[in-house]
Structure 1
């Protein structure tokens, strides 16, 4: 059972998301709020697996809410659910620890797939968002950064992380055990001086490691 916490100020959409998720096998909405002003306490109280976080909300916006949650909880999966697909919001979300970035017009069945993917360690993005992210980073004129002494195997694992693969998917693609994947990722985090998958992906893009 994947427990979902929703932050969305539009009452119709909030109710629609709640009905969709609660009405689907394997999912349960533990709470739904119109703002994230008390998000840190609410996340602690309900202990969700995945948070759907709108960006444009009154009071504390979604990106600030994301930052606040990450000061206390690095484990919960946070998907930014938004009408915005501009570079600034995408980059700020990734930089501050979002696990995925999807548009509100996403089809219901696909949304459930994204939630499942995030819960299992993936980093889902709507296709046009992913394309935009790649364009945004490729347009940067930074010289290729150092490779942080990553081995070819570690670079391969990092590339899979950038592509949004879960640990299980990486293990299947590379024909190795999940524990081996975890070992590679632990070393990658140490070499990049990061603490999460989203930070590793952001650094990989920023420094053009892969």
Structure 2
């Protein structure tokens, strides 16, 4: 049986050591090291090259979120699993985009944490049930926005791009040979289609959804 070599980064020492003890008690898992902050952990990880890093998000100094990329840079074959108290789907989405392949809450039962460690170390992914549904809802919402953005007319796209360029309604009206009232009417329709509250929000959504560059 291949041993799973795990490394833990969490600033809550008692919890970290309890998790280490639980993992070490498994015949197929060995904890090769642990740290209370990301900076020290990354140095260790570069030397120890563990199979999996169990990483908290809230850490002193450098956050766990920003550490994901650095861990993968020093050890590309190491898997990263987030172990946190935060169930925000935005965090789940951001950590997956950064390269993590597992996300487990600290409220999880020990059996679930073990399943997650084994699945992630084996090259799979693991999302705890409590974070899966909120994430799916977020993805569905963003997909809906993407579909709706496809209904933007060429003129609405031009106006959205002009917003991103920082142009005023007056400048947009002049560029398109329209009245300012007509530009405002187009803007209201753009806001409705992509779910924006105002100009800045519209630009932010359009950039996130890659409607504009």
Q: Which residue of 1 aligns with 2:160?
A: none
Q: Which residue of 2 aligns with 1:142?
A: 146
Distance 2:76 2:60 in 1: 24
TM-score normalised per structure 1 = 0.66
After TM superposition, the runs of 4+ consecutive aligned structure 1 residues lying more than 4 A away are none
Q: Which residue of 2 aligns with 1:156?
A: none
Deviation at 1:112, TM superposition (A): 0.9
**Whose helix fraction is larger, Structure 1's or Structure 2's?**
2
Distance 2:73 2:102 in 1: 18
Q: How does 1:2-151 map to 2 (within 5 A)?
A: 2-140=4-142, 141-143=145-147
Distance 2:41 2:11 in 1: 14
How big is each residue's C-alpha offset from its partner over 1:164-197, in whole Å with a ceiling of 9 and x where there is no partner? Answer: xxxxxxxxxxxxxxxxxxxxxxxxxxxxxxxxxx
Residue segments in structure 2 that go unaligned for 5+ positions in a row: 150-208
Q: Whose relative contact order is higher, 1 or 2, with alpha carbons under 8 Å and at least 6 apart?
A: 1
**Higher alpha-carbon Rg:** 2
Deviation at 1:62, TM superposition (A): 0.5
TM-score normalised per structure 2 = 0.65
Q: Which residue of 2 aligns with 1:169?
A: none
Residue segments in structure 1 that go unaligned for 5+ positions in a row: 146-205
Q: Given that residues 39 and 65 in structure 1 are in contact (C-alpha distance below 8 angstroms), is that contact kept between their aligned partners in structure 2?
A: no
Higher mean C-alpha deviation, range 123-132 or range 39-48 = 39-48
Query: SS of 2:45's equivalent?
Result: helix
Deviation at 1:144, TM superposition (A): 9.0
